[in-house]
Structure 1
Amino acid sequence: MKLVKVIDVPVRYKGKTHPKDAQFEMEDGHVNEKLVEIIGDVAEKQNNTQDSPFEGMSIDELKTYAEQRQIDIGKATTEEGIIKKIEEAQKAE
């Protein structure tokens, strides 16, 4: 992904019109340097991390969260394992 800036005429990208001087993220293969100026690279998110609202919670906090919502975490003892159990229970609802 690239961070780009509109050079002159408005640019429509992914259903949104960006006026002159607007900055937005654009996939590498879509960049047309006649329309936008590349300002920099955008770091890609890792799929498994940061997407979870539970990321960064302690094991005790996760256990309390599950207990309050009557989610059975089974024998899960790691942060990753408990998050997986919580997410599976929420999908089943």
Structure 2
Amino acid sequence: MFKVKVIDLPVFHNGKRYLKDDTLEIDKGHENPSIFEVLEEIEDNPFKGVKEITLRKALEDAEIDIPDGASRDSLIQLLIDNNLPI
């Protein structure tokens, strides 16, 4: 996904009208440089906003050993390595 700014002409996207200088998020492949200025690429992160306790519970439910003192990032990596959904 991309966060973009409308350059000049109004744009309709997902049923909403965006005027010049308005910002919106669009999917990859829709970033037309004559219509939009790309402000940033947004990384799709399924773990954004998921609490550490939820990550631990998912690992425990899957009977994955959790190292003592494992950080949130370590827990996420364990979930990824074991192909576990949240």
Q: Secondary structure at the match of 1:29?
A: coil
- Structure with larger Rg: 1
Q: Distance in 2 between matches of 1:57 and 1:42?
A: 22
Q: CA deviation at 1:22?
A: 0.6
TM-score when scaled to structure 2? 0.56
- Is 1:79 aligned to residue 57 of structure 2? yes
- The corresponding residue for 1:26 is 26
Higher relative contact order (CA 8 A, sep 6+): 2
Aligned residues: 59
Q: Give the helix-richer structure, 1 or 2.
A: 1
- % identical aligned pairs: 29
Q: Which runs of 5+ in 2 are unaligned?
A: 62-86
How far apart, in 1, do the equivalents of 2:39 and 2:52 lie?
35
What is the deviation of 1:58?
A: 3.8
| Superposed CA offset, 1:37-89 (max 9, x none) | 1111111122xx347xxx42648xxxxxxxxxxxxxxxxxx5113xxxxxxxx
Unpaired segments of 5 or more residues in structure 1?
A: 60-77, 82-93
**Coordinate RMSD, CA, aligned:** 2.4
Match of 1:62 in 2: none
Which residue identity lines up with residue 79 of structure 1 in the other structure? K
After TM superposition, the runs of 4+ consecutive aligned structure 1 residues lying more than 6 A away are: none
